[in-house]
Amino acid sequence: MPELAEATWPTTSTPVPPDVERSICNFLYFEAELLDDWRFRDWLSLLDEGMEYTMPTQANALTRDRLKSISPPTSYYFCDNKGQLEQRIRRLETGMAWAEEPPSRTRHLITNVRVAVVGHGDEYQVKSNFLLYRQRMAMDIDIYAGQRTDILRPSDNRAGWTICRRDLILDQATLASNNLSVLF
C-alpha cells in the first residue's frame, strides 16, 4: 500500500508567492466544477500519468491506544492509479453503472486551502478541507467531509496545474452510502 502524505504541515517551507497560491485555489475550484458537471474526460486530462489516488478507511481508536501508538492495519476504500480512474470513468460513460443510473448530482466544496513548496520548488503540497454533497434519485443523499492532501505540479495544460497525487481522509469512520462511485 502507498504511504500517505505527511500529516504535519512543513514548518520551514519556502514561502509560496500569493499569485501561485491564488492560481492553485482557482485550479481546485475549476477541478470541482469539472467533477460536478460530469466532465470526467476533462478532469482526467489534469492528472499526471503516475497519479496516485487513495482513501484509507478510518477507525475509531481509544485515547489509551493512540497514546501507545496502537493503530489498526490500514485498508483502503480505494487506492487507484490513473489507469484505474480511466476505467471507472469509462464504466460511468456506458450508462450501465447501476450506482450512477440515473447520475448523481454532486457539489464539491473546497475550503481552508494551505499551500507549501515541496522539494526544489517544482511541486506543491496542497492541503484542503472538502465537503462533497451527493444526491441520487429522490431521497438518496450522501455527505462526505474530510481533508485532501494533493501534490500539484505546474503544467502547460489549460488549467495550469497537474495533480500528481491525492490522499483523502474522510472524517466518517463508517459510511452510510450504498456505494462510493463519486470522484473526490
Q: Which of 59-68, 110-119, 147-156 has the lowest mean pLDDT?
A: 59-68
Q: Has residue 91 got a pLDDT over 90?
A: yes
Q: How far apart are CA 179 and CA 98, in angstroms?
A: 10
Q: Which residues contact 35 (CB under 8 A, 6 or more apart)?
A: 43, 106, 108, 182, 183
Strands 47-56 and 161-170: parallel
Q: Where do the domains of the chain lie, and which CATH numbers do they carry?
A: 18-61+68-170 (3.10.450.50)
Q: How far apart are CA 4 and CA 51, in angstroms?
A: 13
Digit-coded pLDDT (tens) for 45-89: 999 999 999 999 987 777 776 667 766 667 999 999 999 999 999
**What's the predicted TM-score (pTM) here?**
0.87
Q: Has residue 8 got a pLDDT over 80?
A: no
Q: How far is CA 107 from CA 69, 72, 173, in A?
A: 36, 32, 21
- Amino acid found at 177: S
